[in-house]
Amino acid sequence: MNKLYVIGLVLLFTTSCASLTGVQPESASQSLHPETGCFDLTSLPDDDRELARDLLWEALDEVGLYTILDTLKAVSDVRSFRYPAIEDFTHADPVSNSDTNNTLHQIERVLSVLHCGSIHFVVTPFSAVYDGERYYQIRVVNGTVLNTVLTTYPEFWQNWGFVSGSDAATIITVVEYESRFNRFRGYGYLYGYPPHAVDFFVDAAREQQDTGDFVTRDFVQIPAYIRETGAFVYAVPKGHELNEIDEQLKNNATKTLEKYRALRENNSIEHPEKLIRYLLFKNNAAVNSN
């Protein structure tokens, strides 16, 4: 798990994203009623339901909170996992391949029901292979916010034919396999950081490539439920003073986190899907549905 954490941090610190400040996309609660189903896990067998709830808690306790219960991030990472990367399929181990196949099928079954309005989960592969293993990332996506990102920066996304309504998993995979600077900017836009942070990071990476000198920087930290630092974080120039966009982002995140923390620590709602319904729909009927 240490390597998974390191890879997550690499992605986190090497990406920045366009701000959605001033944009209030439609939330799940505006487009969906609880009786129509929101993270309805009743069709899953026990093992699958347990995994589904684990993923929901992991998302909510980390930065997925700002994708599921807010509009600050179009995409948030939830969990990484890995399997051996096979180069020569002629000599692939059929037993190992079978185990991988079974696990991936379970993940697909679980992710197929992890949706609520425009919010859904996807799994995508990393392009790089580490020590003979390929890593995969489960992510939560707010489709309404993603559409805002796509329409805010059309010149960038239309390079690959992406427009409002394009498939999230396809977008993420294309970004992952893109050239270095497009990858940095693309992940940045998806992960919800302010535009000045995106531009700084990409420009700093270009400068380092040209000169060989690392560009010093500071970091803006936005806490998650499970940790105060290293969660929702982006790079800024050394000595940067928080501007209006930074302050608004932190304030919005703090309000969402406080609401979640109060309910999470109250222990009155046992399962994450019911906690989500309660906060989205603001009524007890949402908790009791499904």
pLDDT exceeds cutoff 90 at 32 = no
CA distance linking residue 48 with residue 109, whole number of Å: 8
Q: Whole-model pTM?
A: 0.85
CA distance linking residue 271 with residue 255, whole number of Å: 22
Query: Could you tell me the pLDDT band of residue 267, with boundaries at 50, 70 and 90?
Result: confident
Query: Could you tell me the pLDDT band of residue 16, with boundaries at 50, 70 and 90?
Result: very low
Which one-letter amino acid corresponds to residue 109? R
Q: What is the pLDDT of residue 11?
A: 41
Which of the residue ranges 6-10, 34-38, 265-269, 276-280 would you say has the lowest mean pLDDT?
6-10
Q: What is the pLDDT of residue 95?
A: 54
Q: What is the pLDDT of residue 92?
A: 61
CA distance linking residue 247 with residue 252, whole number of Å: 9
Q: What is the pLDDT of residue 89?
A: 65
CA distance linking residue 259 with residue 276, whole number of Å: 11
Residues found in the chain: 290
Which one-letter amino acid corresponds to residue 215? V
What does the block give as tokens for 10? 């690499």
Residue with tokens 């019911």: 274
Encode pLDDT of 122-140 as tens digits: 999 999 999 999 999 999 9
8 A C-beta contact, residue 232 and residue 63: yes
What does the block give as tokens for 180? 């270095």
What backbone torsions phi and psi does residue 163 show, to the nearest 5 degrees?
-135, 175
8 A C-beta contact, residue 112 and residue 33: no
What does the block give as tokens for 68? 């599921």
Which ranges in the chain belong to alpha helices (H)?
2-13, 28-31, 46-61, 65-68, 94-111, 143-152, 154-157, 168-176, 180-191, 195-211, 244-266, 272-281, 284-288
What does the block give as tokens for 29? 């609660």
Q: What is the pLDDT of residue 5?
A: 34
Q: For the residues 193-219, what does the mean pLDDT come to?
A: 97
The percentage of the chain sitting over the pLDDT mark of 70, rounded to a whole number, equals: 81
pLDDT exceeds cutoff 50 at 23 = no
Domain limits of the chain?
2-281
β partners of residue 124: 137
DSSP H or E stretch at residue 236:
strand 232-237
pLDDT exceeds cutoff 60 at 192 = yes
pLDDT exceeds cutoff 60 at 80 = yes
pLDDT exceeds cutoff 90 at 282 = no
pLDDT exceeds cutoff 80 at 236 = yes
SS3 48: helix
Residue with tokens 């960038």: 156
What does the block give as tokens for 166? 């394009």
What does the block give as tokens for 256? 């969402």
CA distance linking residue 28 with residue 143, whole number of Å: 10
